[in-house]
């Protein structure tokens, strides 16, 4: 696993990212999006459109370490099951969640919003936060933050040509 030369540029552009790594295969880029107010980090993986399930499993294993083998198996099983059909998806096990997107799909804004909704819902469930229709301002700010930061990350992948 190699740290990309563009980390400094990325960190200036994307304020809430603590890690930017490229897998040894060069087919997966990893970002760690921090949500400090919610005490949650969200790994984001952008994958080459032609990645195989075996290669994706190897690449993700470079970045992720699970203490619990059952959770590890569950996470990988769920993600690898949909990799052929998915364009972008949120995967979760317990309180762990991640966003994975195929390179060709990262400019699709409606899909980003769709996945941000899943992230928000999982985050609220994990933290015991109830949505309040009469005071949805915190929810709206979170959605805006998630979309803005994820879009910045995706734009950096495109601009810096971080995938082959």
pLDDT bucket at 7, cuts 50 / 70 / 90: very low
Residue 128, sorted as left (phi over 0), alpha (psi -120 to 50) or beta, turns out to be left
Q: How far is CA 130 from CA 40, 120, 133, 134, in A?
A: 17, 11, 10, 12
- Report the predicted TM-score, pTM, of the whole model to 2 decimal places: 0.86
Average pLDDT, the chain: 84
pLDDT score at 134: 95
Residue range 91-130, pLDDT digits in tens: 888 888 899 999 999 999 999 999 999 999 999 999 999 9
Integer Cα distance of 154 and 46 in angstroms: 8
Rounded to 5°, the CA angle 139-45-120 comes to 15
pLDDT bucket at 5, cuts 50 / 70 / 90: very low
pLDDT score at 10: 57
pLDDT bucket at 164, cuts 50 / 70 / 90: low
pLDDT score at 128: 93
pLDDT bucket at 77, cuts 50 / 70 / 90: confident
With contact defined as beta carbons under 8 Å apart, do 27 and 55 qualify?
yes
């Amino acid at each position: 696993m190699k740290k990309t030369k563009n980390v400094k540029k990325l960190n200036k552009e994307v304020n809430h990212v603590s890690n930017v790594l490229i897998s040894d295969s060069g087919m997966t880029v990893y970002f760690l999006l921090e949500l400090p107010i919610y005490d949650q980090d969200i790994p984001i993986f952008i994958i080459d459109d032609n990645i195989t399930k075996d290669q994706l499993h190897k690449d993700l294993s470079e970045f992720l370490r699970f203490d619990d083998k059952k959770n590890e198996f569950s996470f990988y099983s769920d993600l690898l099951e949909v990799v052929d059909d998915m364009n972008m998806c949120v995967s979760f096990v317990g309180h762990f969640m991640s966003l994975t997107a195929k390179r060709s799909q990262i400019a699709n804004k409606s899909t980003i919003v769709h996945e941000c909704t899943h992230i928000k819902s999982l985050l609220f469930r994990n933290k015991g936060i109830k949505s309040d229709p009469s005071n949805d301002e915190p929810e709206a700010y979170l959605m805006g933050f998630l979309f803005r930061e994820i879009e910045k990350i995706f734009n950096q992948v495109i601009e810096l040509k971080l995938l082959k």
